[in-house]
């Protein structure tokens, strides 16, 4: 270390203006002898003004042997993956602030350069087909009227049907599927269940071997989980490793029909800079697995961690590399789990899988429409401060219970749970101005039962109705539902997929539905056992619902 330091000071002239700082400077600057980490090779331990001074950082850094480090430096945005030749405070591509991270190419033993592409290519080379160079093929030769249902690997059972629906009809051979979600939401459980379903789905063929590679848990821990899930098949093989090359080499004897990697943030490629989970490692490992999937036609599932903001950790380009991105959502306080497709090269993203986490893993929810209704609604006839909203998420309809509590003399002004705060402020303002409700002296608490996050504006009318009900202390009968968006003039606006919403609540036994007047024509042809009440604005709703007969 001292040799390095001497070399450094011999080759770098010191700015005379900084001479009073030499002592602390010598104390704080030290070399990080490891090449190939994503951070700069210079470490400061005390004062960052020293490290950013002209003398040191701007004129380039030095490698551990004291020679000038000639490795090419780039700055990569850790949000969108955009690359630039210099550092910017704001990413030019996605405008995110302070997201540019410095990268240096890794050094080979002979100090030659090595590219991430070559490393990831080498890792999977043993799997490549022996066939000669590929040539362009005619579309007529490639697509031979393939039957989609035969082409895809279907997953049996109710859970399998739910997962297949989200994937667009089944697992596509050779596809790379990324499953993200909060810690503990049930990603590993889902993937272990998918492994069991895949091995069943393959049962017609000779071998339905599925390989589950975990870098997070030991094989005993996965075995315990499998016991809990009552998975007994001998076709699932467990392997605990984090080295992609080791995984590729060791699984060859097995010739699996599907590969599961738990998680992409724990695996690494030798020769690529950075530790496991760093932007470069995640990108190159995913690229290697993509090449593996495409060359072998074996579907690969990856589990991805998410960041605090809910995005999959690692470069944004990760989502561009893979074929399908699924997010698993759910509150830790509830047992419901939603599997949502946000990108799918082989199907629609308008799909949602609904599950319940039970003692024996994830179970499919057959009738999700009513799963967010509380017992208060189904048990009693009338309740104060409760209104029913009908929300469409993906292709599913959900009936939600909105609760409001207006309290005079409280120090809090407003608190929302499951409702966008800005949207609720707008609705409260419209109720005050256009419907004449004197809400200004009230603290208003709003809640969506069961932890569902309501984003759709179709729930506006139900929020307003719940507030009116609590403020006026006037209960709403529990067989009335509210659908509609509220405009600033207090008018009710039409919402999409009204027929779908109304037929769902009609099937659930609701007797009356308040909708915008302008939408009445749309549903005139529906022959349903439900009374439709069309209203032009909030005043009409209040006159019709909150008046004694
Ligand atoms: P896990 O799949 O380990 O989550 P992740 O991989 O997303 O971190 O699931 C962890 C949670 O799921 C844990 O809180 C326990 C719960 N769980 C059940 O409720 N029932 C089960 O049968 C299993 C296997 C897990
Ligand atoms: Mg896990």
Domain residue extents for the chain = 152-364, 386-544
438: left (phi over 0), alpha (psi -120 to 50) or beta: beta
What is the average per-residue pLDDT within 63-68? 56
Q: Where is average pLDDT lowest: 65-79, 143-157, 229-243, 298-312?
A: 65-79
pLDDT of the residue at 65: 55
What is the average per-residue pLDDT within 62-70? 56
pLDDT of the residue at 45: 36
Distances (CA, A) of 206 to 211, 292, 296, 297, 498: 16, 22, 17, 16, 49
261 CA distance to ligand 2 centroid (A)?
10
Around ion ligand 2, residues with a beta carbon closer than 5 Å are: 188
Work out which ligand 1 atom sits closest to the CA atom of 189.
2
What is the average per-residue pLDDT within 109-131? 59
Indicate if ligand 1 lies below 6 Å from the C-beta of 469. Answer: no
206 versus 387: the higher-pLDDT residue is 387
Residues near 454 by Cβ (< 8 Å), separated by ≥ 6? 389, 391, 400, 402, 418, 419, 420, 448
Work out which ligand 1 atom sits closest to the CA atom of 187.
7
- Comparing C-alpha atoms, which of 457, 453, 478, 456 is closest to residue 466? 478
Q: Is 226 helix (H, G, I), strand (E, B) or coil?
A: helix
Do the Cβ atoms of 388 and 395 come closer than 8 Å?
no
* 386-544 shares the fold of 152-364: no
327 versus 351: the higher-pLDDT residue is 327
What is the average per-residue pLDDT within 371-381? 58
Ligand located closest to 361 CA? 1
Do the Cβ atoms of 465 and 387 come closer than 8 Å?
yes
190 CA distance to ligand 1 centroid (A)?
9
Please give the share of the chain, as a percent, with pLDDT higher than 90: 39
Indicate if ligand 1 lies below 6 Å from the C-beta of 271. Answer: no
User: 401 - beta bridge partners?
Assistant: 388
- Cα–Cα distance for residue pair 539/15, rounded to 1 Å: 75
226 CA distance to ligand 2 centroid (A)?
13
Q: pLDDT-derived band of residue 330, with 50, 70 and 90 as boundaries?
A: confident
What is the average per-residue pLDDT within 180-198? 93
274 CA distance to ligand 1 centroid (A)?
30
Indicate if ligand 1 lies below 6 Å from the C-beta of 186. Answer: yes
187 CA distance to ligand 2 centroid (A)?
6
Whether 84 has a pLDDT exceeding 60, the answer reads yes
Q: Whose CA is nearest to atom 9 of ligand 1?
A: 186
- Comparing C-alpha atoms, which of 531, 530, 540, 456 is closest to residue 496? 456
Which of 26-40, 252-266, 485-499 reaches the highest mean pLDDT? 485-499
Mutation test of ligand 1: which of 183, 187, 189, 329 has the most ligand atoms closer than 8 Å to its C-beta? 189
Q: Whose CA is nearest to atom 14 of ligand 1?
A: 184
Work out which ligand 1 atom sits closest to the CA atom of 183.
8
Whether 107 has a pLDDT exceeding 60, the answer reads no
pTM given for the model: 0.69
10 Å CB burial of residue 341 (0-12, 13-18, 19+) is buried
Q: What is the DSSP-derived secondary structure letter of residue 172? A: P
Indicate if ligand 1 lies below 6 Å from the C-beta of 333. Answer: no
Whether 457 has a pLDDT exceeding 90, the answer reads yes
pLDDT of the residue at 68: 62
Whether 312 has a pLDDT exceeding 80, the answer reads no
Whether 146 has a pLDDT exceeding 90, the answer reads no
- Comparing C-alpha atoms, which of 537, 115, 2, 38 is closest to residue 273? 38
Whether 117 has a pLDDT exceeding 90, the answer reads no
Whether 529 has a pLDDT exceeding 60, the answer reads yes
Indicate if ligand 1 lies below 6 Å from the C-beta of 215. Answer: no
pLDDT of the residue at 76: 79
Indicate if ligand 1 lies below 6 Å from the C-beta of 230. Answer: no
Copy the structure tokens of residue 129.
């087909």
38 versus 353: the higher-pLDDT residue is 353
Give the H/E segment covering residue 284: helix 279-296
Indicate if ligand 1 lies below 6 Å from the C-beta of 360. Answer: yes
Indicate if ligand 1 lies below 6 Å from the C-beta of 184. Answer: yes
Whether 51 has a pLDDT exceeding 70, the answer reads no
Mutation test of ligand 1: which of 179, 184, 221 has the most ligand atoms closer than 8 Å to its C-beta? 184
pLDDT of the residue at 34: 37
Indicate if ligand 1 lies below 6 Å from the C-beta of 357. Answer: yes
Question: Before 263, cis peptide (omega within 30)?
Answer: yes
pLDDT of the residue at 414: 86
Q: Whose CA is nearest to atom 13 of ligand 1?
A: 184
Indicate if ligand 1 lies below 6 Å from the C-beta of 189. Answer: yes
Indicate if ligand 1 lies below 6 Å from the C-beta of 167. Answer: no
Q: What is the DSSP-derived secondary structure letter of residue 181? A: E
445 CA distance to ligand 1 centroid (A)?
32
pLDDT of the residue at 35: 37
Ligand located closest to 223 CA? 1
Q: What is the DSSP-derived secondary structure letter of residue 91? A: -
Q: Where is average pLDDT lowest: 135-144, 216-225, 330-339, 415-424?
A: 135-144
pLDDT of the residue at 375: 58
Distances (CA, A) of 28 to 48, 60, 531: 9, 18, 77
Q: Where is average pLDDT lowest: 272-286, 294-308, 365-379, 431-445?
A: 365-379
Work out which ligand 1 atom sits closest to the CA atom of 185.
7
Whether 24 has a pLDDT exceeding 50, the answer reads no
Whether 41 has a pLDDT exceeding 90, the answer reads no
- Note the CATH number of domain 152-364: 3.40.50.300
What is the average per-residue pLDDT within 53-75? 55
Q: Whose CA is nearest to atom 17 of ligand 1?
A: 361
Q: pLDDT-derived band of residue 467, with 50, 70 and 90 as boundaries?
A: very high
- Cα–Cα distance for residue pair 182/303, rounded to 1 Å: 11
pLDDT of the residue at 248: 87
Indicate if ligand 1 lies below 6 Å from the C-beta of 188. Answer: yes
What is the average per-residue pLDDT within 449-462? 89
Mutation test of ligand 1: which of 181, 183, 184, 186 has the most ligand atoms closer than 8 Å to its C-beta? 186
Q: pLDDT-derived band of residue 277, with 50, 70 and 90 as boundaries?
A: confident
Q: Where is average pLDDT lowest: 257-266, 299-308, 310-319, 360-369?
A: 310-319
Q: Where is average pLDDT lowest: 70-84, 144-158, 488-502, 506-520?
A: 70-84
Q: Which CATH architecture has domain 386-544?
A: 2-Layer Sandwich (3.30)
pLDDT of the residue at 536: 95
Work out which ligand 1 atom sits closest to the CA atom of 361.
22
What is the average per-residue pLDDT within 425-438? 93
């Amino acid at each position: 270390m001292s040799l390095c330091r001497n070399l450094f000071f011999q080759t770098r002239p010191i700015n005379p203006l900084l001479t009073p700082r030499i002592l602390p400077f010598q104390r704080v600057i030290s070399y990080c002898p490891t090449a190939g980490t994503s951070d700069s090779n210079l470490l400061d331990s005390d004062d960052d003004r020293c490290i950013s001074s002209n003398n040191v950082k701007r004129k380039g850094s030095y490698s551990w042997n004291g020679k000038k480090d000639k490795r090419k430096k780039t700055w990569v945005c850790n949000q969108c993956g955009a690359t630039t030749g210099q550092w910017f405070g704001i990413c030019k591509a996605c405008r995110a602030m302070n997201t540019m991270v410095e990268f240096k190419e890794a050094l080979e033993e002979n100090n030659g350069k090595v590219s991430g592409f070559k490393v990831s290519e080498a890792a999977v080379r043993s799997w490549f087909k022996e066939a000669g160079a590929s040539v362009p093929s005619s579309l007529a030769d490639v697509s031979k009227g393939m039957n989609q249902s035969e082409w895809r690997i279907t997953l049996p059972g109710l859970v399998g049907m739910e997962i297949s629906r989200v994937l667009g009809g089944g697992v596509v051979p050779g596809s790379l599927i990324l499953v993200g979600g909060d810690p503990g939401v049930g990603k590993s459980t889902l993937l272990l269940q998918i492994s069991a379903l895949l091995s069943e789905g393959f049962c017609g063929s000779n071998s339905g071997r599925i390989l589950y590679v975990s870098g997070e848990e030991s094989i005993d821990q996965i075995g315990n989980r499998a016991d809990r899930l009552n998975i007994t098949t001998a076709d699932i093989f467990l392997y605990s490793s984090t080295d992609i090359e080791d995984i590729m080499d060791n699984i060859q004897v097995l010739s699996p029909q599907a590969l599961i990697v738990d998680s992409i943030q724990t695996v690494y490629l030798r020769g690529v800079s950075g530790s496991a989970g760093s932007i470069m490692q995640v990108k190159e490992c995913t690229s290697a697995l993509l090449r593996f999937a495409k060359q072998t036609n074996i579907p690969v599932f990856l589990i991805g961690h998410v960041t605090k903001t809910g995005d999959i950790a690692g470069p944004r380009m990760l989502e561009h590399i893979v074929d399908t991105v699924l997010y698993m959502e759910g509150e830790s306080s509830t047992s419901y789990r939603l599997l949502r497709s946000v990108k799918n090269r082989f199907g629609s993203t308008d799909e949602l899988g609904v599950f319940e986490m039970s003692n024996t893993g994830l179970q499919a929810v057959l009738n999700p429409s009513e799963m967010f209704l509380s017992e208060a609604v189904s048990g009693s006839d009338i309740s104060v401060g409760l209104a029913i909203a009908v929300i469409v998420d993906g292709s599913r309809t959900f009936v939600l219970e909105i609760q409001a509590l207006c309290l005079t003399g409280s120090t809090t002004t407003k608190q929302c749970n499951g409702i966008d705060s800005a949207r609720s402020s707008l609705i409260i303002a419209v109720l005050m101005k256009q419907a004449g409700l004197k809400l200004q002296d009230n603290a208003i608490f709003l809640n969506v039962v069961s932890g569902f996050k309501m984003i759709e504006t179709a729930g506006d009318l139900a929020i307003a109705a719940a507030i009116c009900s609590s403020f006026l202390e006037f209960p709403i009968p529990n067989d009335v539902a509210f659908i509609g968006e509220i405009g600033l003039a207090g008018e009710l606006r039409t919402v999409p997929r009204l027929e779908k919403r109304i037929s769902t609540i009609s099937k659930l036994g609701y007797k009356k539905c308040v909708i915008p007047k302008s939408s009445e024509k749309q549903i005139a042809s529906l022959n349903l056992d439900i009374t439709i009440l069309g209203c032009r604005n909030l005043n009409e709703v209040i006159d019709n619902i909150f008046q004694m007969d």
